[in-house]
Structure 1
């Protein structure tokens, strides 16, 4: 690796450091002859501009931190890819962090990213860190929420949000099963401490009330993991009477539901019908499962979040209201 400095390049080329900077940044007028001379020296000395020095000069690191609950979840990776495709065109890089749905770890990551001087943070919160988030935003660090809202409504209203219409989606998803005559419903839900868990469950209850039923489904509260879907099915199968249909409110939990039902020798939908908030790719391997699912669009959500990030980093719309982009997704069926 070369240790050459911009001063050495300027001296070798017989120009000022400002001229070298204009050549490298392709800004301002420099004659073709001088440009060639500078670039020849840059190549000969293998000069590498200092990213740290550039970030200090421009007051930007060109880094955006992303904190999600599970970095291996294809849903969050889809959001991240959409963000990257937008901000990458402007020279920004993403720094990925996984909170493991742990509030303490999330708080530590928030402070770490602030210490690393990232230009903005994208957050799918695990909950419990509203005070830290407010402190960071008050300091001028842009934070864009994705997928999940904050517990404190007042703080949440200050931030940009890109999310799904969770209550409406869960309502329509549950209604598909109720319209087919199912009245004994098992619900695999996530933690109520995050908005996706509480809002989706509320949508299920609303659907049951709208269909004239008592809103008392059999509920298993998990942590959005495949193992939780497996445990939920085991609990449902021991219930008397057991549910004739299951609404799983997260794609990871839905995978566990499918695995355990197949492992138990039951047929979908003849023995038990399934509806999933989010597509489960394994569902297409089953024979005529009649599986309902919310067709999510994480990549498109990521692109919207990326556009918001660039506006905030550029300090556009200084006095504007926070952006609230809510996706109302379609319901599809694997047949």
Structure 2
């Protein structure tokens, strides 16, 4: 059965196509009697408005692209849900993309979303795409950076940003271990090409300097994966002397750290202490874990990003308005 057209709906309701359009888009005055006739015709003919036609007419696709390194990570899932809960009530849908920490894949995804004419893009960058992101923003597409900054401060200076105060958080997290008397610390970090990797590591060094220690910890730079946390612990346990504490600067890597410590027959914190940038749900399953962690709030970050997106799409601010920079300061907590 062929799909009904707006002309057929208009004929059934004995009105013009313009009137049908006003009723469906809730724009302009239409009497209650005519509105009822149009809606009855829509129901009778099972008419489905064309999203493509609507987007061309309104110059909107009502779609927002979200590019993150790993959409399966609970942290980025929380951010995405926060965005969706804000923009969804305005009729916008999200298109999710995972870059897998690959700058090359991220570049392709940005181009794909641009070709699909999304109304805005939220980006947690894997690095290396400053030029493409700037070109996108210069073309008029609103870009909100989430969790991570661009490589160059100049490139990201005019873009909205919602992120954590990474250096401050990592510094306070490391300080907890130092106050407990640990001076030999192993650091599990992500790739330094990413702003979170650079800033969190800087926070570790800052804390060590403030405690009068030589800022030269054992370091394992991974890729924000559970497997990297496992490999880091194996490396640290072979060191002589081995560290008495580990600070892991990503929740996925922290899970790997906990798994490998348990597999090695060691106890937390008696044999080795652990501090994680981000809560690890499995940590609560350990007996007397004494695990420090930064309490992140990805959902709140997502809702803030969603609010910024709607303002940009609606063009509520002038082009000369300063970009929004929202840095979340999270607290250090302890399990056990």
How high is the TM-score relative to the length of structure 2? 0.98
Provide the C-alpha distance between the structure 2 equivalents of 1:205 and 1:2, rounded to a whole number of angstroms.
Answer: 67
Provide the C-alpha distance between the structure 2 equivalents of 1:161 and 1:26, rounded to a whole number of angstroms.
Answer: 34
Residue 122 of structure 1 aligns with which residue?
122
Shift of 1:2: 5.0
Q: Which runs of 5+ in 2 are unaligned?
A: none
* Residue 58 (structure 1) aligned with residue 50 (structure 2): no
Partner SS, residue 100 of structure 1: coil
Shift of 1:156: 0.7
Residue 321 of structure 2 aligns with which residue?
320
Instruction: Tell me how many residue pairs correspond in the alignment.
Output: 335
Shift of 1:158: 1.1
How high is the TM-score relative to the length of structure 1? 0.99
Kindly report structure 1 stretches of 4+ aligned residues shifted beyond 6 Å.
none
* Residue 103 (structure 1) aligned with residue 78 (structure 2): no
Shift of 1:32: 2.3
* Residue 139 (structure 1) aligned with residue 127 (structure 2): no
Map 1:228-307 → 2, pairs under 5 A: 228-307=228-307
Partner SS, residue 145 of structure 1: strand
Conservation of the 8 A alpha-carbon contact between 1:2 and 1:48? no
Shift of 1:41: 1.3
Provide the C-alpha distance between the structure 1 equivalents of 2:174 and 2:34, rounded to a whole number of angstroms.
Answer: 69
Provide the C-alpha distance between the structure 1 equivalents of 2:253 and 2:272, rounded to a whole number of angstroms.
Answer: 16
Partner SS, residue 112 of structure 1: helix
Conservation of the 8 A alpha-carbon contact between 1:173 and 1:331? yes
Conservation of the 8 A alpha-carbon contact between 1:166 and 1:200? yes
Provide the C-alpha distance between the structure 2 equivalents of 1:163 and 1:132, rounded to a whole number of angstroms.
Answer: 21
Map 1:7-86 → 2, pairs under 5 A: 7-86=7-86
- Post-superposition Cα deviations, 1:41-84, rounded to whole Å, max 9, x if no partner, equal 11111111010000011100000000000010000010000000
Provide the C-alpha distance between the structure 2 equivalents of 1:286 and 1:18, rounded to a whole number of angstroms.
Answer: 65
Residue 334 of structure 1 aligns with which residue?
335
Map 1:179-258 → 2, pairs under 5 A: 179-258=179-258
Provide the C-alpha distance between the structure 2 equivalents of 1:174 and 1:31, rounded to a whole number of angstroms.
Answer: 66
Partner SS, residue 131 of structure 2: helix
